[in-house]
Structure 1
Amino acid sequence: MLKKIPVADLALGMHIHKICRRWTNDPFWIGLVEVMLDDVEVLKRIQQSGTREVWIETGKSRVLAPQTAAAFASTINDTAPASLDKEVLRARAICGRARNAVMAMFTEARMGQAMDVDNVQLLVEEISSSILRHPHALISLSRLKTSDEYTYMHSVAVCALMVALARRMGLPDDQVREAGVAGLMHDVGKMMIAPHVLNKPGRLTHDEFEIMKAHPELGLKILKENQPVAAKVMDVCLHHHEKVDGSGYPHGLKGDQISIFARMGAVCDVYDAITSDRPYKKGWGVAHSIREMASWKGHFDDVVFQSFVKTVGIYPTGTLVRLESGRLGVVVEQSEASLLKPRVKVFMSARTGKTFAAQIIDLGSFADPDAIVQIEKPTDWGLEEVDTLWAGSPA
């Protein structure tokens, strides 16, 4: 969408459609048509030129114009419960805005510039409000990321997971917000890792992994240069790869040496990483990931991990399951009464392989008694886009 803004509001990361000034043969102004504004010297020259307004294209911009920020800020106070279908629509827009903001901040960090963190609190508040309206819509949606946007959307996903986990653990509101900010900023150090290592489409060599292991300390350095940043946020950035048995990095901390926020960050970071498609591997199924993580003794704090399972469910939204009745379905909603009895959208016969009109059943209801007997792999049934059954459209 095109939007006219004052030059005073122009910022790095905005996509310029055209400058509102008289035509000139000056190559500088001719070049400022349909271009991303990434050069601070170009920005200064525009601001000092006397030009008053500029058209930007918001859909291609990596940062929000103030008017856009104000528009979505008005939705933050809306925390009334919403259906999955309704909240998924809102969550798509939130994820898009958050991805663009993280991309802009991380790009500034990579270029050695001070990050513009003005939108961080606003984004965390909006993500938190979405989770209050529906606890699983944005969390599940943020998992459906493309491999080329992984670094940015991973930060958005971990933010959402940290907010939901903090609420589940009963932390006060100010700490819920800090947990969200920590999730959003935990991987900023990866911007200092060479792209051929960060985006390598294969297993890292020993030397490459040692380079990758430097990102927590690189991230801490960036955050220290962008004060004020809360101590808990910096702690999660530095220690989200520590393990309770002391085998993690960068400091090999054990047990209670690791803060509760860093222990939360470790669980959220790993869950989103293994359930997401990466340049070098396909993501695991969400329910399979929970089972695998439960088997990694010494990796996670037991109390934090159990709270996390209650947050996302034993059968998280998007899990393909087979029921006792012989029907296949995808989990669309969790049950507060029982983690074993979510709501499932059934759509196929496991006996015949034929599909039928989808319907939602509540496994906790006596009206249609049924139960999950096993988790299924979509590929075993020739199903390419199971997530469209709950998310409405492909990722």
Structure 2
Amino acid sequence: MIKKIDASQLKVGMYIHDLSCDWMSHPFVRNRFKLSSDTEIEKIIQAGIHDVYIDTDRGLDVSDAPTQNEVETALQQEMLEIVSRADPVIIRVSAAEESQRAKQIKNQAASLVRNVMQDVRLGKAIQLEQVEPVVTNITESILRNSGALIGLMRIKNKDDYTFLHSVSVCTLLVAFCRSVGMNEEQTRQAGLGGLLHDTGKALVPDDILNKPGRLTDQEFDVIRRHPKDGFDILLKTPGVGEVPLDITLHHHERVDGSGYPDKQAGEGISTLAKMAAIVDVYDAITADRCYHKGMPATDALRKLLEWSKHHFEPRLVQAFMRCVGIYPVGTLVLLKSGRLGVVMEQNDGNLVSPKVKIFFSSKSNTYIPPQEIDLSKPMGKGGADKIVSHENPTKWGIDPNRFLTT
């Protein structure tokens, strides 16, 4: 049985099932292992990990600890309550109408980030006048229909992950800023910070950046230098503002002081750096990498909510959920009718009843003609269909992303 315990309850002989943090926050080669020494326990605590999941079938038990299912059920209910308080989503054009423009913007932005990284490796300066128009295009797409570009950013080529991750963070951060009412200039500066936040990774050797496995302690230290390296690079860029510098340097800080490079904590971290940290982790843990499979977006949001007890600002995590919905665009969902579908677009003021493209019957285990339905509207005399659960695409052998491009 999988249970959640406080790190202070750890004992030699327990089997770690999950360290309950994003992969860049812990220094262990493995995610799952049996504790063999007090040194390992101390290493977990020193890494800023406050709670873990243990497998009681493979190690010592804690009798009164909650099960993983109990924890996830409570978090899911909390998520539903959070998004029920969301303001209406402003959609100026349909996702279908924005889709083509969004594809062009995604490709343009990824190409730009690739060129920026190449220039940095060659010792060339970043040309801010080339970056700013791309951020403007992303912002305008978000204003027309945020779901179109956000949905497309779920589709990443593993080889281009570093570039596409930067575009994703920019896109999500711009949408996040708009949803919490930040003004145009703040949003523009945040977008620049999102697009350039990983510039320092240009100085990380490719064999470390793309290593198909856990990093050694030495490799981990090299990766952890990228915020400061990126900050130093941006300092040499004429016209760069304080916000992009702050986001680049501090997007790995955590509110409990366990982050890096400066171990800032609480109010010592700016709001925009806290927001960047949330979207950075969200995009990282939902993406397929050479060393781990990305988790479904809804699971990632639930993890962010769980980690907000220590690592993230709770009110900002809740605001991010209200921004993207607990079933973000691209999420595979199971409906009450037994049909499977992909979330295509959020609905104004109803984030638990989005527009969904159905394409598969779980009852007959067969594909059905694709059809887009609006879950916020009544569906015949039997009442509207509704989402029963989000599903892991791997379980069904389905790639929901292909429906976002058709």
Give the TM-score normalised by structure 1.
Answer: 0.77
Q: Which residue of 2 aligns with 1:133?
A: 144
What is the aligned partner in structure 1 of residue 395 from structure 2? 380
Is 1:360 aligned to 2:372, yes or no? yes
Aligned to 2:131: 120
Does the CA contact (< 8 Å) of 1:85 and 1:390 recur in 2? no
Please give the secondary structure, in 2, of the residue aligned with 1:114.
coil
Separation of aligned partners in 2, 1:264 and 1:131: 17
**2:201 maps to 1:190:** yes
- Which residue is equivalent to 1:351? 363
Render the CA deviation track for 1:122-161: whole Å, top value 9, x for unaligned: 0111001111111111112122110111111111111111
Alignment of 1:222-241 (within 5 A): 222-241=233-252
Q: Provide the C-alpha distance between the structure 2 equivalents of 1:346 and 1:80, rounded to a whole number of angstroms.
A: 22
Letter paired with 1:387:
N
* Correspondence for 1:331: 343
Q: What residue number does 2:301 align with?
A: 290
Q: Deviations over 1:103-130 (max 9, x none)?
A: 1111111111112222211011100111
AA aligned to 1:376 is E
- In structure 1, which of residues 217, 242, 250 is the aligned counterpart of residue 253 of structure 2? 242
The answer for the alignment partner of 2:386 in structure 1 is: 371
User: SS where residue 339 of structure 1 aligns?
Assistant: strand
User: Cα offset for 1:334?
Assistant: 0.9
For residues 337 and 91 of structure 2, the distance between their equivalents in structure 1, rounded to whole angstroms, comes to: 35
The one of 301, 321, 326 equivalent to 1:309 is 321
Q: 1:261 corresponds to which letter in structure 2? A: L
* Matched residue type, 2:205: A
One-letter code aligned to 2:329: T
SS in 2 for 1:261: helix
Give SS of 2:129's match: coil
Cα-to-partner distance string for 1:57-107 (whole Å, 9 max, x where unaligned): xxxxxxxxxxxxxxxxxxxxxx99322122121111111111111111111
Q: CA deviation at 1:237?
A: 0.4
Q: Secondary structure of 1:268's match?
A: helix
Identity between Structure 1 and Structure 2 (%) = 44
Tell me by how many angstroms 1:390 deviates.
2.4
**Residues 63-82 of structure 1 correspond to what in structure 2 (within 5 A)?**
81-82=92-93
Tell me which residue corresponds to 1:99: 110
CA distance in 2, matches of 1:328, 1:97: 33
Report if the CA contact (8 A) 2:152-2:404 is conserved. no
Judge conservation of contact 1:120–1:181 (CA < 8 Å) in 2.
Answer: yes
Alpha-carbon distance between aligned partners in 1 of 2:367 and 2:273, rounded to the nearest angstrom: 45
Secondary structure of the corresponding residue to residue 188 of structure 2: helix
| Deviations 1:219-257, CA, capped at 9 Å, x for gaps | 111011112210111000000000111111111111111
* Matching residue of 2:181: 170
Equivalence for 1:273 = 284
Paired position in structure 2 for 1:28: none
- Please name the residue that 1:26 is paired with: none
CA distance in 2, matches of 1:321, 1:334: 14
**2:347/2:355 contact within 8 Å kept:** yes
Task: Give the distance between the partners of 1:199 and 1:327, measured in 2 at CA.
Answer: 38
- Equivalents in 1 of 2:282, 2:134: separation in Å? 21
Local SS of the residue matching 1:341: strand
Q: Within 2, Cα distance between the matches of 1:366 and 1:221? A: 56
Distance of 1:126 and 1:355 partners within structure 2? 37
Distance 2:297 2:287 in 1: 9
1:221 to 203, 228, 232: 232
How many residues in Structure 1 have an aligned counterpart in Structure 2?
313
State the match for 2:154 in structure 1: 143
Q: Which has the higher contact order (CA 8 A, sep 6+)?
A: 2
Residue of structure 1 equivalent to 2:404: 390
Contact 1:85 1:391 in 2 (8 A): no
List runs of 5+ in structure 2 lacking aligned partners: 1-89
Q: How far does the alpha carbon of each residue in 1:7-33 deviate from its partner, in whole angstroms, 9 at most, with x for none?
A: xxxxxxxxxxxxxxxxxxxxxxxxxxx
Shift of 1:365: 1.1
| Paired residue type of 2:162 | T
Answer with 1 or 2: which has the greater Rg.
1
Provide the C-alpha distance between the structure 2 equivalents of 1:263 and 1:382, rounded to a whole number of angstroms. 36
Give the Cα separation in 2 of the matches to 1:332 and 1:113: 41
Contact 2:128/2:240 (<8 A) preserved: no
Structure 2 counterpart SS, 1:211: helix
